[in-house]
């Protein structure tokens, strides 16, 4: 079955292929009266857009979003919002030979094995291009969140590329927008630039780790047990192309901790409980604690590389595959705005679920 | 909102609190005609049952499952199956002081902050005891899978406890059932026993990493884009109590790889494509490749410990919390059968989704 | 597929067969802090209980509800509420011959044709006994509505039995509880008693029409376009056993009206718009107008009758079917509390949907 | 909450307003490999298109559908299909005064009361124009059904307009396409033409009853209990604009029948059970019997009429409303292809649900 809808109440259905006429997102369940124009969404798409520096694919897409429904005189009406992005730079010929072979590490082969048919142009539906629709929908979610939860801030950045991680001691949020890697540690960003130049010359690619943080989310948001805030975030991030792991707070490292180490001790602050640490990543029992919500995910290296890899053809013959198109050497870079968009979608959906069951805002007071 | 249903077509709704009269699972969407009695489910519950050795909580629960509906003369009828497990060993008094304070690292506080009311007895709904219902439902899923996909095997085991990981070179599947840790490396299991004895003496607890593998799943199962097989597995595992990270295949380690390293090269075998490696963990584009599906998750250390931790009371006063009840020093151990159950639930649900859209079995042939 | 869950946010999954050990409802998504005990639910079940007078089946069921989860110290916690009703009067032997033949007009045959297996005892899952679980869940919904929307009143009654309809000029709401037919016209109730006595003597049964009215629902509740208030009510009522038609307001009679006749003219009252008529049945565009919501549904005559009817056996042989068990001669009578319960479930679910998208209460002011 | 998705597995999300740039349907869950081009869908849209004779609105819309995704080289790929229809004839000025007043019997007022904002141009989202998207999606469903269930035939027609019903004795299926009313009784069609001419001259409108029949659906399709085939059909038809009642088989008339009359007696035919009558409308217990599935629904008269009706303005002032735009005097006519489309959507969705749970085709044999 294909299941192209994300969210329980703020429901986003993305549609479209890499090289079809258009792609987009149908957004249902949006609260009414929210200010929304194309200009509110476009900046988020521009952040994700390819071809902005030498470290992302040189494919040129305008990625201009059109709102086709659900907005009247600049405000949402509560009816479905259709967001359409036309595909403009489709060099299908780049993919001619790909139609008969399968790139190792790519979804070419499994789409074929599942459906018995696939759109080979640019990876079709499995193309990372689909994430443009997520980012557009995330832009709508951000407008709603700005109205309903004005203190919320969502920030994504890269913390590792290949074997090289940032130095947390040098963490500088202000630096994130200042380099092509959304890196909060400029010294590491410089090293990554060298690393990536070297890799590109050898026709290779590399993985990365992205961290997304939401600050200002009040305590009490989350829908236990099977739509827990962390469970939804895990599903959201793992649904992004090429992601192979998701962590909340201490993440996989929690396995190495003792209970004494892991306990985030609590004391009273002026506005409620304050925590001495955040191993929990802002989530306990699937519900927000009021601390920063911290999610990390690992993006595998692009499978479309210039180095020949052994594979098979549709006919079952051996083949050496070299992918010549214009591909990202580190697709993790462009996953940063996508991770932010998914965080926005999850939080808004959870907020609406909370409003439905509990009413406005969290409930149990402490102190 | 509470969302206590798991699955799209094989839908499991768990219910019940740690110290209420009973807990269970309502299973809807089960195919008809499947052999099913309590005796088919009970062995899976027995694997998870507490009090079986000195490394799990000494709470004694019979955990006997009753089937209240959906089965006629030993076969499923296609109607909802109600699985009920009575709670028999409820020493609520153990939790007296807990009702007024919040254990650091526990969902006590967030349930209160969300709902303004909580059942403090034994963690209420956030108790790991809820996983008994998952294991029971997983037992039903296994019966269905045995009928629809007889070659499937699901195996879980622990690969790390605290900082000590198994030695993969000594991996012995036959050893898993032979030690109290579901450990495939007996030498490491012995060390873990020593480690855990030492920890318990100091009133501490420890985290763990669990790996679950599904073998024999054919290529083509998965529901892109927002119910991808890996996305569903991530949600499933992250919804288990205390889980903080989920990995597929290479997992978080994929960030450190190059595209050349990460490509699982393909050649033709007798029955279709064969892969030279499995960094993908058996999933590409959210669809199974036919290789082993490999999932790992990290379980944080139990937050209920004997070492005093700083916290606050309901009234906002400082308090030192010591949890005296009978708790697992390494809750990861009992998470192994739970992870297996979630794997079974996800795979069956995905199989039904596949049957719905594509019909019986995978479709596109290679060679 | 079986789909035994009703509702989007206040989600009720009913389970259980007529002659199994128990049946019940799993209620998920209930707001927290609502007062709830068995004593709040039992009166609604007692209204529906069989054997209360000579016009309903003489089967004796205590229909005592037990709350197994989701309630702590008399208030809902926001976690799933399990409602269980044990079956106590199961004379399975009454159904011995039924297992090999199919009652004309009964779901025996289609359950067999769908699933290849069926529980023949008392109709199994297709028994009207399942509606006890709906009424129990409706009792929970009423508690929540009493807290969230105190002005709401839901009233059901029978308006037709066989060819004989009530005289609307004699409508007396106070009379509804005073006769065994929930009839608002006592003179017609007396005639129905005679009609039904005559029918029973000949081993026959009869259909009926039930009307359910919700007063006090504010304007603005409804979820267009595919979960419109009227669309949800139509699904809810049509899902009740033996229902063959559903009407809102003018209903099927709307076909005969002109636009001039059908227009419910509007003027301003003290508290907002006031309507001169209610052909709309309180719903326009799937959203409540603030007038009474008026739903009617037709219940076909019980198919289990003593008059022989021609049918076939499992082996395809001709057979005359006579159903000897203890059956309702007019199942429409006991459908009245069921219709009320479904109205409560729909309205609460719609109210939660409204809270999620729009926030508390309706929005656009007039005047 | 807005809920603009129809279907469980074949999921159609319609979007768009009457006078926005475009409207359409996002179709998710479509089986792969089905032949599909715009030319397969357009004929169904042409049937519904306005302005084809003097009895429907003179608004001119090309209603040309574009497929933006989900199809490759003329076959569905299993990924979401985006169907877009541009609005071309938008005379928004016709609706100038409507923005400040509320048409009696129209959703103007409730949309405002719910959302506090509405798109007043042409009824916005509540316009019957939305049904074009349903018909387009129904065209896709018909292509899939043609492949999966080739014997299925879906036929809609009008059986009543105002107080005048067809004479069933003159029923002639071949006549349906031969008059502007989709009327199977040409003599009545002539009378309707006179009736409607007279009504239009007085600035009035009229209601109608539509019947839709599905032949060739095998026994065993349906998803009890809350997604029964009849329950889904009731929801589907009631969700169409202006529908106020839905009947299956004997419908509301079932109330007047006795059990002896209502029993559809069964005998063995060559291919399985054969029924002597079809009061059940082809559905027992929510599951198809193999007989014709018969659904009827009543459409109220258009609320946009030239005869002045009393209403109020946004400011709460009294106002006489006259709607001057170009409106259908009997919107029931154009509801015929919409009812057919909804029947196709329901049956396909139910078929996929059946495949998921039971596998291919029905199961229990008789004889």
**Would you kindly state where each structural domain of chain D is located, as residue ranges?**
5-358
Report the pLDDT value the prediction gives residue C94, as an integer from 0 to 100. Answer: 55
Burial of D167 (0-12, 13-18, 19+ CB in 10 A): exposed
Residue A239's contacts (CB-CB under 8 Å, 6 or more residues apart) are A6, A342, B225, B226, B228, B231, B286
10 Å Cβ neighbour count for D307?
16
* D6-D8-D9 Cα angle (round to 5): 110
Q: Does pLDDT of C320 surpass 80? A: yes
Which tokens belong to D294?
């018969």
At residue C10, does pLDDT exceed 90?
yes
Instruction: Name the pLDDT band for B361 (thresholds 50, 70, 90).
Output: low
For residue B53, what pLDDT is reported?
76
* Coil vs helix vs strand at D173: helix
Distance from CA of B15 to the nearest CA of A (A): 10
C132: left (phi over 0), alpha (psi -120 to 50) or beta: alpha
Q: Which of D85, D95, D100 is nearest to D123 (CA)?
A: D95
Span A162-220, pLDDT tens digits: 999 999 999 999 999 999 999 999 999 999 999 999 998 999 999 999 999 999 999 99
d(CA A133, CA A124): 14
Residue found by looking up tokens 């006919």 in the block:
A315
Tell me, what's the pLDDT at D319? 94
Does D86 carry a binding-site annotation?
Answer: no
CB A246 within 8 A of CB A234: yes
Give rounded-to-5 percent helix, strand, coil for chain A: 35, 25, 40
Is the pLDDT confidence value at A156 over 90? yes
Q: Do D32 and A79 touch (CB under 8 A)?
A: no
The verdict on B60 touching D (C-beta cutoff 8 Å) is: no
| Predicted confidence (pLDDT) per residue in B104-116, tens digit | 999 999 999 999 9
Q: Phi/psi at D359 (nearest 5 deg)?
A: 95, -165
Nearby residues of C172 by Cβ (< 8 Å), 6 or more positions away: C184, C185, C186
Instruction: Indicate the residue of B2, B33, B117 with minimum beta-carbon distance to C29.
Output: B2
Is the minimum CB–CB distance between D221 and chain B shorter than 8 Å?
no
User: Given a cut of 70, is residue D111 above it in pLDDT?
Assistant: yes
Write the CB contacts of D93 (distance below 8 Å, at least 6 apart in sequence).
none
Spell out which residues of chain D touch residue B79, defining contact as CB-CB under 8 Å: 224
Query: D168 to chain A, minimum CA–CA distance in Å?
Result: 42
B-contacting residues in D 65-94 (Cβ below 8 Å):
78-79
- How far is D226 from D229, CA to CA, in rounded Å? 9
Nearest CA in chain A to B249: A244
At residue D344, the pLDDT reads 98
What secondary structure letter does DSSP report for D225?
Answer: B
Is residue B288 within 8 Å of residue B281, measured between CB atoms?
no
Enumerate residues 6+ apart whose C-beta is below 8 A from B229: B221, B222, B223, B283, B286, B287, B288, B293, B346, B350
Q: What pLDDT score does C306 carry?
A: 86
In the 8-state DSSP scheme, what is residue C122?
Answer: G
Looking up tokens 């506090």, which residue turns up? D116
Q: Answer yes or no: CATH 3.60.150.10 is held by domain B5-358.
A: yes
CA distance D79 to D85: 20
pLDDT tens per residue across span B20-61: 999 999 999 999 999 999 999 999 999 888 777 777 776 677
Q: Has residue A276 got a pLDDT over 90?
A: yes
Q: Write out the H or E segment, with its range, that includes residue A237.
A: helix A229-238
Distance, in Å, from the CA atom of C150 to the CA atom of C192, rounded to the nearest integer, reads: 35
* Residue whose C-alpha is closest to residue D122's, from D152, D89, D78, D149: D89
Nearest to B116 by CA among C29, A268, A365: A365
Distance CA B366, CA B290 (A): 13
Looking at the complex, does the CB of residue A171 fall below 8 Å from at least one CB of chain D? no
Q: Do C289 and D252 count as a contact with CB atoms less than 8 A apart?
A: no
Report the SS3 class of residue D358: helix
Q: What is the pLDDT of residue D1?
A: 54
C-alpha–C-alpha distance, residues D56 and D131, integer Å = 15
The C-alpha atoms of residue C251 and residue C237 are separated, in whole angstroms, by 14
CB B314 within 8 A of CB B101: yes
Q: Report CB contact under 8 Å: B79, C29.
A: no
Whole-number Å distance between alpha carbons of B256 and B262: 10
Question: How many residue contacts between C and D have a Cβ separation below 8 Å?
Answer: 447
Contact B114 C78 (CB under 8 A): yes
Q: What is the pLDDT of residue A91?
A: 58
- The beta strand positions in chain C, using DSSP E, are 5-6, 11-16, 22-28, 65-67, 71-72, 75-76, 81-86, 153-161, 164-165, 208-215, 243-248, 266-269, 272-275, 283-284, 287-288, 293-299, 309-312, 318-321
In terms of DSSP bridges, do strands C272-275 and D272-275 run parallel, antiparallel, or are they unpaired? unpaired
pLDDT average, residue stretch D179-203? 95
Q: What is the pLDDT of residue B49?
A: 80
For A312, the 3-state DSSP assignment is: strand
B286 interaction partners in chain A (CB closer than 8 Å): 107, 110, 239
Contact by Cβ (8 Å): A328, A57: yes
d(CA A243, CA A207) in angstroms, rounded, equals 10
Q: Which residue has the tokens 């709508």?
A: A140
* C220 contacts D263? CB cut-off 8 A: no
- Tell if the pTM clears 0.90, that is, is over it: yes
Q: Give the rounded distance of the alpha carbon of C80 from its chain centre.
A: 22
The per-residue pLDDT for range A57-104, each reduced to its tens digit, is: 766 778 999 999 999 999 999 999 999 999 986 655 555 667 789 999
* pLDDT given for residue B326 in this prediction: 66
Q: Is the omega angle on the peptide bond into residue C80 within 30 degrees of 0, that is, cis?
A: no
Q: Which residue is associated with the tokens 């042939």?
A: B365
Phi, psi of C6 (to 5 degrees): -115, 135
What pLDDT band is residue B179 in, cutting at 50, 70 and 90? very high
User: Is beta strand D309-312 parallel, antiparallel or unpaired with respect to C287-288?
Assistant: unpaired
In a mutational test of the B interface, the residue from D28, D355, D361, D362 whose CB has the highest number of chain B CBs within 10 Å is D355
Strand runs (DSSP E) across chain D, as ranges? 5-6, 11-16, 22-28, 65-67, 71-72, 75-76, 81-86, 153-161, 164-165, 208-215, 243-248, 266-269, 272-275, 283-284, 287-288, 293-299, 309-312, 318-321
Higher pLDDT among residues B307 and C237, named by residue: C237
Beta-carbon separation of A81 and D33 below 8 A: no
Distance CA B149, CA B151 (A): 6
């Amino acid at each position: 079955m294909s299941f192209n809808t994300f969210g329980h109440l703020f429901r986003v259905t993305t549609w479209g292929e890499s090289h079809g006429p258009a792609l987009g997102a149908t957004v249902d369940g949006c609260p009414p009266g929210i200010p929304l124009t194309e200009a509110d969404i476009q900046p988020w798409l521009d952040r994700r857009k390819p071809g902005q520096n030498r470290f992302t694919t040189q494919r040129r897409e305008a990625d201009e979003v059109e709102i086709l429904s659900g907005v009247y005189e600049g405000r949402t009406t509560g009816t479905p919002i259709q967001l359409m992005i036309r595909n403009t730079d489709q060099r299908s010929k780049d993919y001619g030979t790909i139609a008969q072979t399968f790139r190792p590490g790519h979804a070419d082969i499994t789409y074929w094995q599942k459906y018995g048919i696939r759109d080979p142009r640019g990876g079709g539906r499995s193309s990372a291009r689909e994430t443009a629709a997520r980012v557009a929908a995330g832009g709508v979610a951000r407008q709603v969140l700005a109205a309903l939860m004005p203190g919320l801030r969502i920030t994504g950045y890269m913390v590792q590329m290949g074997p090289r991680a940032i130095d947390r001691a040098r963490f500088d949020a202000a630096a994130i927008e200042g380099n092509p890697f959304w890196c909060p540690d400029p010294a590491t960003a410089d090293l990554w630039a060298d690393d990536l130049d070297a890799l590109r010359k050898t026709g290779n690619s590399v993985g990365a780790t992205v961290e997304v943080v939401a600050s200002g989310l009040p305590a009490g948001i989350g829908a236990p047990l099977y739509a827990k805030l962390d469970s939804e975030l895990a599903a959201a991030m793992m649904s992004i192309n090429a992601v192979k792991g998701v962590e909340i707070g201490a993440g996989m490292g929690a396995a190495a901790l003792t209970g004494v180490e892991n306990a985030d001790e609590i004391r009273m602050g002026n506005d409620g409980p304050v925590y001495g640490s955040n191993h929990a990543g802002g989530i306990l029992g699937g519900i927000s604690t009021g601390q920063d919500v911290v999610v990390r995910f690992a993006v595998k290296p692009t499978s479309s590389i210039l180095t020949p890899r052994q594979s098979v053809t549709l006919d079952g013959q051996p083949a050496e595959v070299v992918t010549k198109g214009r591909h990202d050497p580190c697709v993790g870079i462009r996953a940063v705005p996508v991770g932010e968009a998914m965080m926005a979608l999850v939080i808004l959906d959870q907020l609406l679920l909370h409003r439905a069951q509990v009413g406005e805002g969290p409930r149990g007071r402490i102190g």
